[in-house]
Amino acid sequence: MRLEVSVGRYSAQGIRDNNEDRLHVDRALGLYLVADGMGGQARGERASLLATKLIPAYLKRELDEGADPEAALAKAMIDANAEIVREGQDQPRGRRMGTTAVVAYLHGGKVYIGHLGDSRAYLIRGNGVKLLTHDHSVAYALVENGTMTEEQAKSSPFQHVLHKYLGCADLNGGPDIASFEAQPNDRLVLATDGLTNHITEDDLVSGARHFADMQQWAENLVDTALERGSRDNVTCIVLAFDPR
């Protein structure tokens, strides 16, 4: 079934002095990207901006050269990583720029999710929510190997220490790529941690039901995170897949 894709997007600086989050929508290419820059002030902004420029450009190049969607997306993120590492080389160790990236690439009825860092992708289908990404945080790695419980991870000082992101010297296995077949009435949310730390899965299910207009929903999600005390930049893209 052909599905109509509609999109909403919103990014708020919040109480911070600058906004290191970036979002990018390229409907013609079918690419939707959220990035959360790190490295302080101009560096974080530069890194997330680079992610939004480089990943679409490299993805186009790979597709033009005949790569399949999954390989093209992975290669685009790997090459963007190398470029951001190169640009950061004149910065002192420990202060180099980096950025998360969560990318949705729509191709032939399928949605490919590429991911590095702790920005997230959620699929809302019916009454269910599926987290499509695993945070590349040290705390989550400790949960995975059984050192910590999920509850302990939430208050761990390592919760937002990333071991994998764009701009890191060793991508150790590359980006995570997931995919799913889009179904009628699916909703997809891409968001930075300034949002995901304050929005529950119940919020996502009720919002998906309540909002027919994706732009209104995106703004509502960001406003809700800010009202609940998010002290971070807050950014999301929401996608609706509806029957034509």
Q: Which residues bind Ca ion (CB under 5 A)?
A: 36, 192-194, 232
CB 189 within 8 A of CB 238: yes
Nearest approach, Cβ of 193 to Ca ion (angstroms)?
5
Task: Please give the structure tokens belonging to residue 44.
Answer: 């974080």
Among residues 175 and 194, whose Cβ is nearest to Ca ion? 194
Among residues 85 and 236, whose Cβ is nearest to Ca ion? 236
CA 201 to CA 174: how far, in whole Å? 28
CA 142 to CA 159: how far, in whole Å? 10
Nearest approach, Cβ of 44 to Ca ion (angstroms)?
9
Supply the angle between the helices 41-64 and 69-87 in degrees, to the nearest 10. 140
Among residues 81 and 230, whose Cβ is nearest to Ca ion? 230
Nearest approach, Cβ of 213 to Ca ion (angstroms)?
26
Nearest approach, Cβ of 6 to Ca ion (angstroms)?
26
CA 234 to CA 242: how far, in whole Å? 26
Among residues 186 and 193, whose Cβ is nearest to Ca ion? 193
Nearest approach, Cβ of 26 to Ca ion (angstroms)?
23
Among residues 99 and 192, whose Cβ is nearest to Ca ion? 192
Nearest approach, Cβ of 61 to Ca ion (angstroms)?
29
Among residues 46 and 125, whose Cβ is nearest to Ca ion? 46
Sequence-ordered strand ranges (E) for the chain: 3-12, 21-26, 31-38, 98-99, 101-107, 110-116, 120-125, 128-131, 176-181, 186-191, 234-243
**CB-based contacts of 108, cutoff 8 Å, min separation 6:** 69
